[in-house]
Amino acid sequence: MKEKVLKTHKGVIHYWYAKNEDKNANTIFFLHGLTADHSMFEEQIACFKEEYNVLAWDAPAHGKSRPFETFNFEDSSEYIRDIINECSIDKAVFVGQSLGGYFSQSFIKRYPERVKGFVSIDSTPYGHKYYSKLDIWILKRIEWMAMCYPLRWMKRAMAKRVSVSKRAYDNMMQMLSI
């Protein structure tokens, strides 16, 4: 995969693109979760790049896309659009893990004509209308609640939750150590 850079007014976004020789190949865009980076999808990319165009990014404020001022879903949708435009892609299948699912859904909401499909991995619906008042109340207090959980244990639990193989677990632990 070839590493590329998208310059924005808030920072630089690093992304990787593998263009398939077949000009009719579909495109898969992998979007990782909170605290992770593009390497979360290394094995999936290796599997799909023979038949598809493949994109992956380090989301704003993640991985190599740091430092980054601030980000929100609206701006991130524009960044995703800019990336697929730079790669001359009309439509893509978006594969979003956790936070990557929110990025994907935000993009889908704004640019449905640019979407061929969506795969959600451990994500939930985008938008407040899907959540109860209790859900919102708890989410607003998650930072405080997380502080009650020892960081070392939290990292291990997060890595275990997003991995099946030892290699994936070790990779996530590496991402969390930065």
Cross-strand pairs, 15: 4, 57
- On whether the CB atoms of residues 44 and 93 are closer than 8 A, the answer is no
Residues 84, 165: one domain?
no
Residue 2 to residue 151: CA distance in whole angstroms: 34
Three-class SS of residue 160? Answer: helix
> Which pLDDT value is given to residue 149?
87
Task: Determine the average pLDDT of the residues in 93-100.
Answer: 97
pLDDT digits (tens, 9 = 90+) for 101-124: 999 999 999 999 999 999 999 999
Residues 76, 89: one domain?
yes
Residues 11, 50: one domain?
yes
- At 146, the pLDDT band (50, 70, 90 cuts) reads confident
Tell me which residue range forms the domain holding 117. Answer: 2-130
Residues 10, 89: one domain?
yes
- On whether the CB atoms of residues 55 and 15 are closer than 8 A, the answer is yes
- On whether the CB atoms of residues 93 and 27 are closer than 8 A, the answer is yes
Residue 31 to residue 62: CA distance in whole angstroms: 11
Residues 148, 98: one domain?
no
| CATH number for 25 | 3.40.50.1820
- On whether the CB atoms of residues 93 and 56 are closer than 8 A, the answer is no
Residue 86 to residue 80: CA distance in whole angstroms: 10
Residue ending a domain, choose from 106, 130, 154: 130
Of 89, 82, 77, which Cα lies nearest the Cα of 18? 89
Residues 25, 74: one domain?
yes
Residues 119, 168: one domain?
no
Residues 116, 143: one domain?
no
The total of other beta-carbon atoms located within 10 Å of residue 43's CB is: 14
Residues 55, 42: one domain?
yes
**How many structural domains does the chain have?**
2
Residue ending a domain, choose from 105, 130, 155: 130
Residues 107, 168: one domain?
no
CB within 8 Å of 98: residues ≥ 6 apart:
33, 34, 121, 122, 123, 162
pLDDT digits (tens, 9 = 90+) for 38-83: 999 999 999 999 999 999 999 999 999 999 999 999 999 999 999 9
- At 145, the pLDDT band (50, 70, 90 cuts) reads confident
Residue 103 to residue 59: CA distance in whole angstroms: 9
Whether 25 shows a pLDDT value over 90: the answer reads yes
Residues 44, 117: one domain?
yes
Residues 78, 27: one domain?
yes
